[in-house]
Amino acid sequence: MMLLLSLCSLRTLLLLLLTLTSVGHSKQQCRLVLQSNFNGNGEGDPQVPLSATPTSSGSTASASATLAPFNYGKDIIRGVNLGGWFVLEPWITPSIFEDTNNSDIIDEYTFGQLQDSEHALSILQDHWETWITEDDFAAIKAAGLNHVRMQIGYWSVPITSTDTNYTTSVDPYIPGAWPYLLQALGWAKKHGIHVILDLHGAPGSQNGYDNSGQRGSANWAQGSNVARTLDIVRFIADQIGGMIDVLELLNEPGGYQADIAAVIADYWQDGYNVVRNVSGPSLKVMIGDAFLGVASWDGFLTSPDAQGVLMDYHEYQIFNYDQLEMSQDEHLNYSCSVLSTLRSYAKSNLYTVSGEWSNAITDCAKWLNGRGVGARWDGTWQDGQPTFGSCDGYTGDSSSFSDDYKTFLRKYFESQIAIGEAVQGWIFWTWKAENADDWSYQKGLEGGWIPKDPTDRLYPNICSDS
């Protein structure tokens, strides 16, 4: 760790000094509207404005700017994920991986492991500075969105030995994203955007996907990894709890794996307690269904035993063959069936957010299933399985999209925001991608299949029977 810090460029050190001054100066004072106010009869408490956060150029977000309170459970979350920024995903930024000229570099773990650390840090710093900028926050606000969900890996959280009894080593990961995160929080405040901070990668990997930082085995439930993760959550809540609206305790833990299923409920409970002990009632807490379905969490962390908890549900229709074989109309109907399920859960349990979904109806985006891995859709993923045709015209540059396909993408978009609008909100995955326009909110706005005002509807009754 000390070696990596000594290799940090002057720009990162200056940014760190500027941004750390904002940490801990203010705590948000707001609460989740009580479950009894599900239909919008309750009001949230006022929120203390966030303190200004310096930018890398030395200017600050307007000191007079305030972020109005967000009434969770009354107002609808309409947001977008900033995927691939602080946690690399090969399919979002394939060029970063291609430029390594090493096909064994398949995730952020091997990105640090199989390269010179100083070179890897330089590449990451350039990515952190350019992938998402303040202009993106301005564009997100202009698009009528009120939230961003930002991802962070445990290796980027600068926890020290005074904060934990467990190891603080993150080798071979390359740390350094934290000051860029702080800068982003300043931009969000300046542009009036609320923030869900999502712990996207945990020690040992919570799901074995490259989006956890390490592709392969999911070993999070082993050894001290869970306890170590709780200390990381405590550090985040203590250091920047006043700069974010919601802290998501962990993204997509693999509850389909027996050892993770055995510990995840206790982790959610312990994580909730950690946040409440550090931040009091002000900071909202988000959990997920751990691939077990929301029905598995009936009565869990509900009022009066807990308060300020939201459920994050991810809805993709492309990672199983039975989903891929659906017709376009069947995809729309499937969305509407999810709406009914989530609305039923939210009415008697936690406020619920459709926290990840996209416009894709194929898994054709390059490396979506992992670097060097093909697609189920065209049979390049695995031999002897069903195929559904060519990937041409379904992903990549939208100049290849037909008018009929764009019309469908608009319908599909509206069917999925109908899910979020029926509960407490939605967050699209993702704002931008290098070469997968069906996954890009930014490109959808440009192409017209995503409206410039998210409340505009061409198909307002698309799920009217749900």
Transcribe 253-284 into DSSP letters. Answer: --TTSHHHHHHHHHHHHHHHHHHHHHHTTSSE
User: Which are the contacts of 295, defined by CB distance < 8 A and separation ≥ 6?
Assistant: 341, 345
- Contact call for residues 102 and 114 (beta carbons, < 8 A): yes
Give the residue ranges of DSSP H helices in 283-378: 321-324, 328-348
Sign of torsion, CA 416 419 422 424? negative
Q: What is the token pair recorded at 16?
A: 């760190």
Q: Is 460 exposed, middle or buried (0-12, 13-18, 19+ CB in 10 A)?
A: exposed
Q: Is 341 exposed, middle or buried (0-12, 13-18, 19+ CB in 10 A)?
A: middle
- Whether 108 is catalytic is no
Helical (H) or strand (E) element with 351: strand 351-356
Task: Give the active site residue among 89, 108, 134, 356.
Answer: 356
DSSP state of 428: E
Q: Is 150 exposed, middle or buried (0-12, 13-18, 19+ CB in 10 A)?
A: buried
Task: Give the active site residue among 252, 315, 414, 421.
Answer: 252
DSSP state of 68: P
Closest C-alpha to 361, from 386, 395, 403, 410? 395
Q: What is the token pair recorded at 401?
A: 């999209």
Strand duo 425-428 + 77-81: pairing: parallel
Amino acid at position 64, single letter:
S
- Contact call for residues 125 and 247 (beta carbons, < 8 A): no
User: Which are the contacts of 39, defined by CB distance < 8 A and separation ≥ 6?
Assistant: none
**What backbone torsions phi and psi does residue 426 show, to the nearest 5 degrees?**
-145, 155
- Whether 325 is catalytic is no
Residues with catalytic function: 252, 356
